[in-house]
């Protein structure tokens, strides 16, 4: 059960026949605060909570337990005798909930598209997930709807109550966790508003690796808020360590006019890894998909570069990747082009995915371009600019350069150097 304070507060308030306004007036606070607690589910601090409990005639413990929190003082009892507690809880359950989790097993699912590497189903993700064997997937990438009221067609309601959206999210996440192999990786892309809840849910079952910030200036400014440019990519693994961890290295950031370094690598130039700088958990180089030539449908679509990076980090050829929210099929195309097996579903129109998988030339070109810019210290363009504007490369070690003027440094590299520097 997830903590959800707002629903419980509303229940107790209504039981006492109080309106939000009358409760606020009894507490001497603004009615907007009561509204916000009930809608957001965030609980007020303990001192106000105590006052609320007094007005509503309920003990603080009862209120907390009902909202899904375990009061600290019960923690030891809870941990010491779980069998007794679970027996007690089981006895309280109505009989007919026993088979709740056994859903849609009778109806067979048939793929709407099958390739040598993957299968696409026109289906609800919960339906597909329920058919998958436990511990069968090497990597999961999920980019669900963000509940921002977008139009994904008749089959999707992208304007759920917060509580419903979280409940739905926890449901599909639990199933996804079940099908992930030990050592498998789980990437979940969403806005921070949801990922703070989804991360804490995932952390109950999986091992947190990173909260990756993807900087994307994509939407319109919101009045009274900071401009939202922070999308969040959660990265968890099942078990102690990932089966695959192979992050790409990125080139040094250079001025697009003259090729000069944007950051000062100072005295460490000779220690830079010739394959580029370390990938960090802030990704500022992922472009939004805006141009009509590269857009495969009207609604949200992620950059192929992002999926390519995820595949690099957490998969090897022939690994099986699951994406339960197909959209325009970016994950599936990335898998096709990178020789990963894949499985996925889309509840809405699947035609854009089918068209895209059948005609991959534009995606191939995009991917080749993106991949020619990883695991090198300078891009070919910046090397050309640097030579034109007289920037010297002599103190860097540059692999496979085609400009004769960059000589390789033979100096040994020290351990424990800062970000971007070679480790051995």
Ligand X SMILES: C[S@@+](CC[C@H](N)C(=O)[O-])C[C@H]1O[C@@H](n2cnc3c(N)ncnc32)[C@H](O)[C@@H]1O
Q: Note the residues at the interface with ligand X (CB under 6 A).
A: 124-125, 143-145, 152, 156, 300-302, 324-325, 327-328, 330, 345-348
Query: Burial of 392 by CB count in 10 Å (0-12 exposed, 13-18 middle, 19+ buried)?
Result: exposed
- Closer to ligand X at the Cβ: 315 or 328? 328
Q: Residue 185: enclosing H or E segment and its boundaries?
A: strand 180-190
- CA–CA distances in Å: residue 1 to residues 4, 46, 324: 9, 21, 23
- CA–CA distances in Å: residue 176 to residues 12, 292, 305: 35, 33, 24
Task: Identify the CA nearest to 385 among candidates 249, 251, 248.
Answer: 251
Task: Return phi, psi of residue 114, to 5°.
Answer: -135, 130
Helices (H) and strands (E) in the chain, counts: 15, 9
Closest separation between CB of residue 347 and ligand X, Å? Answer: 4
First to last CA, the chain: 47
- Closer to ligand X at the Cβ: 138 or 301? 301
Closest separation between CB of residue 61 and ligand X, Å? Answer: 37
Contact 200, 238 (CB under 8 A): no
Residue carrying structure tokens 């299968």: 119
- Closer to ligand X at the Cβ: 51 or 124? 124
Task: Identify the CA nearest to 272 among candidates 376, 158, 182.
Answer: 376
Closest separation between CB of residue 103 and ligand X, Å? Answer: 13
Strands 341-345 and 180-190: unpaired
Closest separation between CB of residue 35 and ligand X, Å? Answer: 29
Closest separation between CB of residue 345 and ligand X, Å? Answer: 5
- Closer to ligand X at the Cβ: 145 or 251? 145
Closest separation between CB of residue 340 and ligand X, Å? Answer: 16
Its sign, for the CA torsion 67, 178, 322, 246, is positive
Closest separation between CB of residue 329 and ligand X, Å? Answer: 6
Beta bridge partners of 137: 180
Q: How far apart are CA 129 and CA 196, in angstroms?
A: 24
Contact 308, 338 (CB under 8 A): yes
Q: How far apart are CA 67 and CA 64, in angstroms?
A: 5
Q: How far apart are CA 397 and CA 358, in angstroms?
A: 42
- Closer to ligand X at the Cβ: 273 or 300? 300
- Closer to ligand X at the Cβ: 12 or 172? 172
- Closer to ligand X at the Cβ: 12 or 141? 141
Q: How far apart are CA 149 and CA 160, in angstroms?
A: 8
Which tokens hold the place of 397?
A: 């070690």
- Closer to ligand X at the Cβ: 197 or 406? 197
Strands 230-237 and 113-114: unpaired
Closest separation between CB of residue 165 and ligand X, Å? Answer: 11
Closest separation between CB of residue 150 and ligand X, Å? Answer: 8
Closest separation between CB of residue 397 and ligand X, Å? Answer: 37
Residue nearest to ligand X according to CB distances in the complex: 327
- Closer to ligand X at the Cβ: 138 or 143? 143
- Closer to ligand X at the Cβ: 257 or 290? 290
Q: How far apart are CA 1 and CA 342, in angstroms?
A: 32
């Amino acid at each position: 059960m997830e903590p959800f304070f707002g629903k419980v507060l509303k229940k107790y308030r209504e039981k006492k026949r109080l309106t939000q306004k009358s409760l606020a007036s009894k507490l001497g606070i603004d009615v907007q605060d009561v509204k916000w607690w009930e809608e957001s589910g965030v609980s007020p601090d303990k001192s106000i909570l105590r006052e609320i409990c007094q007005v509503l005639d309920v003990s603080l413990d009862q209120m907390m337990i009902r909202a899904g929190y375990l009061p600290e003082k019960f923690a030891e009892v809870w941990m010491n005798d779980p069998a007794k507690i679970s027996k007690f809880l089981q006895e309280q359950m109505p009989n007919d909930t026993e088979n709740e989790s056994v859903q849609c097993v009778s109806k067979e699912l048939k793929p709407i598209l099958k390739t040598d590497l993957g299968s696409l189903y026109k289906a609800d993700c919960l339906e597909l997930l329920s058919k998958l064997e436990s511990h069968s997937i090497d990597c999961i990438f999920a980019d669900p709807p963000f509940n921002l009221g977008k139009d994904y067609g008749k089959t999707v309601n992208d304007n759920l109550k917060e509580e419903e959206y979280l409940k739905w999210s926890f449901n599909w996440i639990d199933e996804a966790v079940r099908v992930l192999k030990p050592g498998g990786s789980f990437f979940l892309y969403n806005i921070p508003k949801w990922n703070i809840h989804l991360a804490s849910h995932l952390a109950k079952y999986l091992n947190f690796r990173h909260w990756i910030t993807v900087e994307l200036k994509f939407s319109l400014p919101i009045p009274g808020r900071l401009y939202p440019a922070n999308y969040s990519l959660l990265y968890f693994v099942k078990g102690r360590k990932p089966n695959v961890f192979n992050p790409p290295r990125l080139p040094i950031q250079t001025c697009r006019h003259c090729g000069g370094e944007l950051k000062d690598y100072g005295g460490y130039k000779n220690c830079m890894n010739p394959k580029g700088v370390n990938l960090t958990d802030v990704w500022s180089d992922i472009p939004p998909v805006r141009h009509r030539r590269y857009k495969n449908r009207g609604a949200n679509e992620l950059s192929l570069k992002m999926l390519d990076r995820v595949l690099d980090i957490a998969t090897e050829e022939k690994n099986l990747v699951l994406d339960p929210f197909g959209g325009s099929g970016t994950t599936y195309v990335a898998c096709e082009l990178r020789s990963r097996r894949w499985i996925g579903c889309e509840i809405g129109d699947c035609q854009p995915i089918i068209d895209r998988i059948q005609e991959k030339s534009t995606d191939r070109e995009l991917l080749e371009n993106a991949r020619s810019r990883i695991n090198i210290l300078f891009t070919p363009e910046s090397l050309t600019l640097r030579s034109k504007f007289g920037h010297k490369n002599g103190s860097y070690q540059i692999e496979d350069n085609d400009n004769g003027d960059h000589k390789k440094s033979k100096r040994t590299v020290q351990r424990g150097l800062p970000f971007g520097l070679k480790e051995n």
